[in-house]
Structure 1
């Protein structure tokens, strides 16, 4: 049954690459260009997932783990993660799918992200990580603490997202010209990146589908990237097959899924970073691994999945990751622009993700 994780990973890797689905760009645009186009799309993915997941929970078809929030870890870790993804040029999903496109800088960031997530969870920094995460609150979900139906929160979220979509409806959005003479389904899939909202709906549906697939293996969680990435390192260093759960197979599918999409679209090519970018990828990947371990998740595990459960951890992580990206954008992009220096990781590929 763990093979379903691999299949879902391949499919989502394909979707992430064609949709340029990277939360770094969505959050960074808010600060740099005041654009909420991709932030709204990210909210749409959460809303779609929330409707589906809460329906499945109400029907008793799935189980979902909701953590008690460790305030210090979630706030500090998410803020550090937000800074890290600016330096690395992509969040967890962005780093994985860009690795499949051939960006060697993303390979570097991904290696250090997985390595330091493992160091925090299982290695030399485990005592520090455990000490921070031991300071937990009794709070889990917003609906639980307020004593209200979760459907009130679902309706509120859907309403806010619907309002944002209507507000954007009449705005002009530049469309990239077709890159080939493909026809039919191939033209739809590969001639240009998918629209943000279409991508968001697909991601939301697949994120909900992760629950029954994962539950079938005894893992009561949805999508997750940080712990599975750390478990890959754990398996490589110890050889313990117990590390190879559904989540590991899921993240292992992301890169080949992205590679298939990029190859068929004619977007795959190996691109080596310069020394300065490589150093930033190391620092960014390290900050991502440490931050995500402290926060209990990344932009997927927290900001996408836990938000759909209306957990305090998910929404607090969302806010402080957004703030971390703002600080990172301020100091590592805007400052460099004003000084006339080369901005951090603003390559053509980064612009496809961030400059909406």
Structure 2
């Protein structure tokens, strides 16, 4: 019997994709460290770690919500509550203090109103049609899912389109940003957040036991120790813990939580400039931070750099697992779902002040009420999206992120 290496190839060979990912990662980190700053290089590496964790733990927001909506299975949702609980415990004291390891820090605290409700709702539909959320789109595309490249392209297009209409959405009724940390203080804010996480987890347990008589167990794996760490799969809870810790590392290095989708709008704007369409006159790109990003080098944009890292980290993880094998034979309806889903994802994320990472994960970890509103609206949108999926996916199609 031939020997199988950690990269999943016989005869001691290492998959070329492993060397490509490692080589690009090394070049990227060195180039960013010399051309930008060591901090940007460190955030690129953190992005790579995010990609590896997301892939090996198969930590999907989209599939977790769909499994609960469609089948009453709540293991993925409970893992998200673990992730949020750890993040809140780490974030709230730092945000209350205003600094972390000497770095000034602030959270993602955004207005609560119609833009969040509408944006998160259509994002939820897009999650189920596109086959992934913001993080899911990046890590599955990096892992070799060709269909998710289509979702990513139209995610970028949708993000850019939303910046055209951004002033109209911002004129709609909203309340001022509300921070749990500022309103109640860090200790009480943590207690209240933990109570809500416990309620959500308890509801998933009750529903799952009522429908199935017991809780779903993780699939057994023969890999243990270093082999499992390198090749996966990781337990969902391990992924939850790792994602919370990496988000805290992002807060320490970047001074704010992990985000993804602002970079998609920036990439779309840069591309529009390249083809002769100037977006700088649009309201969104006249905001100071956005104007600076548009005028600057894309490799100076923290979110973009971390996204590049996520893609490479997922590429490395899939190559180590021996699963990097892009398939470009995609059914037409699945392509259509990717296009529609990507547009909804991009548009919804911009007007809702973020995606499942920036608004849901980062917003709740920041103590922002808009993060909770985002969760409710996006879950409602996902419920509709799940009902729409049979039109696009015969037999529910491929496994999504």
Structure 1 counterpart of 2:83, from 45, 48, 60: 45
Q: Which runs of 5+ in 2 are unaligned?
A: 1-38, 275-294
Partner of 1:117: 159
Tell me if 1:252 matches 2:308.
Answer: yes
Structure 2 counterpart of 1:104, from 146, 166, 175: 146
Partner of 2:168: 131
Matches within 5 A, 1:94-243: 94-121=136-163, 126=164, 128-135=165-172, 136-144=174-182, 147-159=183-195, 161=197, 164=201, 171-178=215-222, 184-190=225-231, 192-215=232-255, 221-238=256-273, 240-243=295-298
Distance 1:268 1:12, change over 3 A: same
Question: Cα distance, 1:242 vs. partner?
Answer: 4.4
Question: Cα distance, 1:209 vs. partner?
Answer: 1.1
TM-score normalised over the length of structure 2: 0.76
Equivalent-residue separation in structure 2 for 1:138 and 1:281 (angstroms): 35
Distance 1:171 1:332, change over 3 A: closer
Question: Cα distance, 1:245 vs. partner?
Answer: 1.1
Tell me if 1:266 matches 2:266.
Answer: no
Equivalent-residue separation in structure 2 for 1:187 and 1:43 (angstroms): 24
TM-score normalised over the length of structure 1: 0.85
Cα contact 1:21–1:93 (8 A) shared by 2: no
Pick the structure with greater CA Rg. Answer: 2
Partner of 1:78: 120
Cα contact 2:109–2:367 (8 A) shared by 1: no
Question: Cα distance, 1:65 vs. partner?
Answer: 4.0
Cα contact 1:68–1:137 (8 A) shared by 2: no
Helix, strand or coil for the counterpart of 2:184?
coil
Helix, strand or coil for the counterpart of 1:97?
helix
Helix, strand or coil for the counterpart of 1:193?
coil
Partner of 1:218: none
Equivalent-residue separation in structure 2 for 1:158 and 1:70 (angstroms): 21
Over aligned residue pairs, what C-alpha RMSD do you find? 2.5
Q: Which runs of 5+ in 1 are unaligned?
A: 216-220
Cα contact 1:3–1:246 (8 A) shared by 2: no
Partner of 2:369: 312
Question: Cα distance, 1:235 vs. partner?
Answer: 3.1
